[in-house]
Structure 1
Amino acid sequence: MGNPTATRPPQPWTAPTASDPVGATLRLPGSKSMTARALVLSGLASGPSTLVRPLRARDTELMAGGLRELGAHVSVSDDERWLVRPHQLVGPAHVDVGLAGTVMRFLPPVAGLAAGRVTFDGDPQARVRPLGPLIGALRSLGVRIDTPETGSLPLAVLGTGRVAGGEVVIDASASSQLVSGLLLAAPRFDRGVVVRHRGAPVPSAPHLRMTVQMLRAVGAAVDDTTPDVWAVEPGPLTGRGWEIEPDLSGAAPFFAAALVTGGEVTLQGWPHSSIQPVEQFRALLTRMGGEVTLGTAGLTVRGAGTVHGLDADLSDVGELTPVLTALAMLADSPSRLTGIGHIRGHETDRVAALAKEFTALGADLSELPDGLEIRPRPLRGGTFRTYDDHRMAHAAAVAGLAVPGIEVDDVACTSKTMPEFPALWSGMVTGKN
């Protein structure tokens, strides 16, 4: 099971510096988290589904490709409306996970329902992302899996067309996706599933709430009333139309630009009732000096030209850490960001990578076991390495608004979740959006 992902050349990029307050109204791509979950649920449903304004990016195209490999019909020819027609799940098949945590954790449980051998592999860095607890949980639920002793990729699921299901104990302290992957496929298990988490708190709790809400939206019976326990009853899932919200994590650098430059950025198409952690994000930006409003035009962030330091537990919103770190570098007081030890297991060790790359630009910051301490001082230009991590490129772009000469070694990594990021960002800074 070799790595099927082709190597692409890096794309260097100079982060543009803002000479004036930014003023932009943008329509950004759909939520990666919602798109991934909608694809999986649609592939397991009893009838066709549509995804309206989904995210077209590497992660979601890999998810669509994985479902196709397993037998589903997934049409992505229309950027605004994807169509999924479920079909009997079959093997043999091979799923390229790329570097997508959603694909490597959501599709192995689905593969257990397929009749045949399904192999999984991806980018080299994917082989060190936490997967062992999911493999152990699936085995205890009756799924046969061949995997290296490390409990990681590459792996093979030897599906029999059904999964017994039942109760399982898992340590999901490394990623909420380890639980979400089990829950999404659970209605198709013979006995459903009861997942009990034992360990340090599960990070990114809002993503688990999203999983539960989306399961209920297609008719699944889910009980999450007991802390750290999720029970899903067996039963059919209905096809439906999914309206995909704009991606909050993808919007974060654009909103941060309003704070850094004292400008105003509006994201169009934002729903008044969101299943993403908007209120947590709103509170964080407000504490850092922003004004956040939701109106008919969309979600708007205004900056006053001064960024304030922040002492915050980001365990629920760890994806925002790189952008908030960049903001903290430009603040008028120190910051302490904690509760993010789990992001050491993301596309790269984000805590270490942020500390190393900002230190190279002259920053004064310290790594904590679960976070960062940041003491602002003037930064200088220089090369900022992304480690093939889209969120690292976002952090460099935010810092570059105020610091001339930040050279991102590879902005193409943003194609993971937003291929149009460089063009959208430059257009916002230059006023040409």
Structure 2
Amino acid sequence: MTEPRAASARIPGSKSITNRVLLLAAAAAGTTRLDAPLESEDTVAFRTALTDLGIPVDQLPGDPEEFGSEAWEVHGLGGPPAAPGGASARIWCADAGTAARFLPVYAATGRGEFRFEGTEQLTVRPLRPLTQALAALGAEVEPGAGGGLPLTVRAEGLRGGELALDSGTSSQYLTGLLLSAPLMREPLTVSAANLVSRPYIDMTIALMRRFGAEVTEGQDGTLRVSTGGYTGTRLRIEPDASTASYVFAAAAITGTAVTVPHLGADSLQGDLGFVKVLELAGAKVEIGPDATTVTGTGALRGGFEVDMGDISDTFMTMAAIAPLADGPITITGVGHARLKESDRIAAVAGNLRALGIRVEEGPDRITVHPGTPTGAVIACHRDHRIAMAFSVLGLKVPGITLDDPKCVGKTFPGFHEELRRLFGEQAH
């Protein structure tokens, strides 16, 4: 049987890389150019927050062959920020969790008063491990009533030194501290207990080294970051592997083939590991040096359990298509996903039940049984990943609609159009 010819998917740049690089570029000496950055609600919010901190970001014409139409040039401060004119700086984080968790640390390495605010959805997301760490490093922090935003940071620089950080609910607290560690007065040594999503920390370290930082890891897993700051550079933002999971899953269930260019074996993103889960489910996977292709049979193999803790942003993609498998699929290790834009385990389970599918859930796991889904309105919970995951199932199940289709703009404003381009009338 001849395999289908692979369609080339147009996946926008990685949100995780874009926002990390924006901060690194802001702190660096000189100008940094980002080619093919992600242009979405979260990254634009992060970019705007930098301008609120007095860091110019120029939007330039990009390479017409790239997904995005722009390139961004960040004119770095060469060190910590200062509140303009000695007044309190107000930084609006919108819905961007990375802005709320990375930028307060950067502000704390500087001087002045900084107030971080965000949407109601972002305000309820936890920040306590981060605020406790900032206080331990010498900042004065005043969190909101719920322990998170609005957050006021009164800064006179951070001392560095040794720190123990609870990282059992999010790796973003550790990333925020690492990114700004070269700006502290002393080297920072962090012990991160119960660390989840380790691949995101590996990504952070790789990008810090690209900007000239010295990061070492001890045999006991502690991370040490030397002082010395950053130097600007130029880099191309690779496609977002979490976002690519939707087109890869779509290929698997429709019996087609999809290639994502510029996302290959050298990717910094752990979420590319999602294709290995599709391989467990019977899809053919090819990871080349500069592209990844998934070819589906149109059917899914079930009857397995898989730990997706390190790639938890993609567990919803697998769970949403799991009813089409020939046996139950159990996903474990994703308890921290309950603290994201929504309680993602509960949201996935509730929507699958609305479609008539038997689901069992635990604190950190979900089991999805085979079934014949019926059409229903999907409750997106303002969560872009819920919307995109169930849109993929909608390629095979008539009558699936979203109560908030526009929430995909958080990371992929053109998602619905790209799904239709790749899969035609199946994408309704």
TM-score (norm 1): 0.91
The alignment status of 1:304 with 2:294, answered yes or no, reads no
Mark the runs of 5 or more structure 2 residues left unpaired by the alignment.
62-68
Who is 1:342 aligned against?
336
TM-fit CA distance, 1:273? 1.1
Q: Against the structure 1 CA distance between its residues 227 and 130, is the aligned structure 2 distance closer, same or farther, given a 3 Å change threshold?
A: farther
Who is 2:125 aligned against?
129
Who is 1:363 aligned against?
357
Moved over 6 A (4+): none
User: Which of 57, 71, 79 is matched with 1:81 structurally?
Assistant: 71
Question: Take 1:269 and 1:280, find their aligned partners in 2: how far apart are those partners?
Answer: 15
Question: Take 2:43 and 2:278, find their aligned partners in 1: how far apart are those partners?
Answer: 28
Q: 1:144·1:158 contact (CA, 8 Å) conserved in 2?
A: yes
- SS for the counterpart of 2:310 is coil
Higher relative contact order (CA 8 A, sep 6+): 1
- SS for the counterpart of 1:72 is coil
TM-fit CA distance, 1:289? 1.1
Q: Residue by residue, what CA displacement relative to the aligned partner does 1:326-353 show, whole Å, maximum 9, x if unpaired? A: 1212111101101000000000000011
Question: Take 1:96 and 1:77, find their aligned partners in 2: how far apart are those partners?
Answer: 24
**Which residues of 2 match residues 184-203 of structure 1 at below 5 A?**
184-198=179-193, 201-203=194-196
Q: Against the structure 1 CA distance between its residues 296 and 203, is the aligned structure 2 distance closer, same or farther, given a 3 Å change threshold?
A: closer
Q: 1:187·1:235 contact (CA, 8 Å) conserved in 2?
A: yes
Q: 1:99·1:123 contact (CA, 8 Å) conserved in 2?
A: yes
User: Which of 249, 254, 258 is matched with 2:242 structurally?
Assistant: 249
Q: Residue by residue, what CA displacement relative to the aligned partner does 1:72-116 show, whole Å, maximum 9, x if unpaired? A: 111234333110001362213222222222111100001112322
Q: 2:266·2:289 contact (CA, 8 Å) conserved in 1?
A: no
Q: Which amino acid aligns with 2:171?
A: S
Question: Take 2:5 and 2:245, find their aligned partners in 1: how far apart are those partners?
Answer: 15
Mark the runs of 5 or more structure 1 residues left unpaired by the alignment.
1-20
User: Which of 142, 159, 172 is matched with 1:164 structurally?
Assistant: 159
Question: Take 1:67 and 1:112, find their aligned partners in 2: how far apart are those partners?
Answer: 14
Q: 2:351·2:378 contact (CA, 8 Å) conserved in 1?
A: yes
Q: Residue by residue, what CA displacement relative to the aligned partner does 1:232-275 show, whole Å, maximum 9, x if unpaired? A: 11112110012211100001010101111111111122244111
**Which residues of 2 match residues 207-222 of structure 1 at below 5 A?**
207-222=200-215
Who is 1:4 aligned against?
none
Who is 1:205 aligned against?
198
Which region of structure 1 is more displaced relative to structure 2, 227-236 or 365-374? 227-236
Q: Which amino acid aligns with 1:425?
A: L
Q: Which amino acid aligns with 2:81?
A: L
TM-fit CA distance, 1:282? 2.8
- SS for the counterpart of 1:367 is strand
Q: Residue by residue, what CA displacement relative to the aligned partner does 1:352-408 show, whole Å, maximum 9, x if unpaired? A: 111111101111001111010111111100110100100001121111011101110
TM-fit CA distance, 1:185? 0.4
Which region of structure 1 is more displaced relative to structure 2, 226-235 or 258-267? 226-235
Who is 1:115 aligned against?
111
Q: Which amino acid aligns with 2:161?
A: G
Q: 2:143·2:150 contact (CA, 8 Å) conserved in 1?
A: yes
Q: Which amino acid aligns with 1:146?
A: E
Question: Take 2:70 and 2:287, find their aligned partners in 1: how far apart are those partners?
Answer: 24
Question: Take 1:344 and 1:229, find their aligned partners in 2: how far apart are those partners?
Answer: 27
Q: 1:307·1:330 contact (CA, 8 Å) conserved in 2?
A: yes
Q: Against the structure 1 CA distance between its residues 111 and 121, is the aligned structure 2 distance closer, same or farther, given a 3 Å change threshold?
A: same
Q: 2:355·2:376 contact (CA, 8 Å) conserved in 1?
A: yes
Question: Take 1:192 and 1:63, find their aligned partners in 2: how far apart are those partners?
Answer: 26
User: Which of 212, 217, 220 is matched with 1:224 structurally?
Assistant: 217
Aligned pairs, number: 410
Question: Take 2:97 and 2:382, find their aligned partners in 1: how far apart are those partners?
Answer: 14
Q: Against the structure 1 CA distance between its residues 372 and 338, is the aligned structure 2 distance closer, same or farther, given a 3 Å change threshold?
A: same
TM-fit CA distance, 1:294? 3.2
TM-score (norm 2): 0.92
- SS for the counterpart of 1:76 is strand
User: Which of 8, 15, 38 is matched with 2:21 structurally?
Assistant: 38
Question: Take 2:347 and 2:217, find their aligned partners in 1: how far apart are those partners?
Answer: 35
TM-fit CA distance, 1:58? 0.8
Question: Take 1:288 and 1:58, find their aligned partners in 2: how far apart are those partners?
Answer: 33
Question: Take 1:226 and 1:131, find their aligned partners in 2: how far apart are those partners?
Answer: 28
Who is 1:105 aligned against?
101
Who is 1:183 aligned against?
178
User: Which of 308, 321, 326 is matched with 1:327 structurally?
Assistant: 321
TM-fit CA distance, 1:192? 2.9
Question: Take 2:352 and 2:13, find their aligned partners in 1: how far apart are those partners?
Answer: 29
TM-fit CA distance, 1:313? 0.5
